[in-house]
Structure 1
Amino acid sequence: MVSSQLWPPVVDPSTLTRQVWDVETARSLPGMGRALQLYGGLIAQCALDQYAGDEVIKPRPPLLALPDVHLRARSTFVRVHVEDYLLHGNAVHLVTARYADGSVRGVRWFPAHMWHVTDPAVTEDGGVDYYLNGRKVERRQDVVHVQRGAAEGAPWRGVGVVEEHLKTLNRAGLEEAAESKNLTGGGVPSVAVIAPNPTLTKGQAEEAKDTWEEKFEGPGRRPAILPNGTQVVPLGWSPVDGQMIEARKMSLVDVANCCNLDPYWLGGQSSSHTYKSPGPMFLTLTRTSLEPVMSDLELVWSLAWLPYGRSVRFDRLQLTRDDFATEVQTGVAGVAAGLITAEEWRIRQGLPTEPEFGQLRKPGPAVPAGPPGPPALTVLPGGGNDDQEGAA
Structure 2
Amino acid sequence: MWPFARPKADSGHAAGEKRAETTDYQTIPVSDENFLAFFGVNGVKLPHVTIDTALTVPAVMAAVAFLSRTMAALPLHVYRDSDKGAERVKGKLATVIHDAPNDGMDSFKFRQWFWQQVFTGGRGLAWIERTPQGIDALWPMDPAKTSIQRVGGRVEYVYDGKKYPAADVIDVPYMLKADGLKHYGPIVMASKAIQLALAMNDYGSNFFAGGGVPPLALVGPLPQGDAALKRATAEIYRAVDAARKEDKPIVPIPAGHELKPVGFDPAKGQMVEARRYQVEEIARAFQLPPVFLQDLSRATFSNAEQQDLHLVKHLIGQWAKALEGEMNLKLFGRGRGTRYVEHNLDGLMRGDFKSRIDGIARAIQTAQMTPNEARALENRPRHDNPDADELLVQGATVALGKQPEPNTGVPEAGNDNNDENDEAKAA
Q: 1:21 to 1:304 in 2, by over 3 A?
A: same
1:77-131, Cα deviation, whole Å (9 max, x unpaired) = 1011111112122111223x32215x3211210221111123x3xx3x1223322
Tell me how far apart the structure 1 counterparts of residues 164 and 304 of structure 2 sit (CA, whole Å).
Answer: 51
**Conserved in 2, the CA contact under 8 Å of 1:303 and 1:311?**
no
CA distance in 2, matches of 1:358, 1:107: 41
Q: Matches of 1:334 and 1:66 in 2, distance apart?
A: 31
Q: Percent identity?
A: 18
3-state SS, counterpart of residue 21 of structure 1 = coil
Bigger Rg, structure 1 or 2: 2
Matches within 5 A, 1:229-240: 239-240=265-266
> Hey, which of these two has a bigger chunk of strand by percent?
2
The alignment status of 1:343 with 2:372, answered yes or no, reads yes
Please give the secondary structure, in 2, of the residue aligned with 1:128: strand
2:287 alignment partner in structure 1: 260
* 2:326 counterpart of 1:300: yes
The size of the alignment, in residue pairs, is 300
- Aligned-pair distance for 1:255? 0.7
Amino acid in structure 2 at the alignment position of 1:266: L
Q: TM-score, normalised by structure 2?
A: 0.61
Gap change, CA 1:183 and 1:56, over 3 Å in 2: farther
Q: Give the match for residue 252 of structure 2.
A: none
Instruction: List aligned pairs for 1:174-213, cutoff 5 A.
Output: 174-188=199-213
Q: Tell me if the contact between 2:51 and 2:121 (Cα under 8 Å) persists in the aligned partners.
A: yes
Residue 25 of structure 1, CA deviation: 1.8
Which consecutive unaligned segments of at least 5 residues does structure 2 have? 1-42, 215-237, 249-263, 393-427
**Is the contact made by 2:68 and 2:112 (CA closer than 8 Å) also made in structure 1?**
yes
- Structure 2 CA distance for aligned equivalents of residues 322 and 143 of structure 1: 34
Higher relative contact order by CA 8 Å / sep ≥ 6: 1 or 2?
1
DSSP-derived class of the 2:278 partner: helix
2:103 corresponds to: 69
Distance change (3 Å), C-alpha of 1:114 and 1:273:
farther
Please tell me the residue identity of whatever aligns with 2:205. Answer: S
SS in 2 for 1:318: helix
Task: Indicate the SS of the match to 1:289.
Answer: helix
Whether 2:122 is the aligned partner of 1:89: answer: yes
- TM-score, normalised to structure 1, is 0.66
* Amino acid aligned to 2:143: A
**Kindly tell me: are residues 330 and 21 of structure 1, through their superposed partners in 2, closer, same or farther at Cα, counting changes over 3 Å?**
closer
Matched, 1:156 2:189: no
Alpha-carbon deviation of 1:19?
A: 1.8
Displacement of 1:63 after TM fit? 1.3
Letter in 1 for 2:132: A
Are residues 25 and 82 of structure 1, via their aligned partners in 2, closer, same or farther at CA, if it must alter by over 3 Å?
same
Q: Name the structure 1 match of 2:132.
A: 100
In structure 2, the residue matched to 1:141 is 167
Contact 2:317 2:345 in 1 (8 A): no
RMSD: 3.7
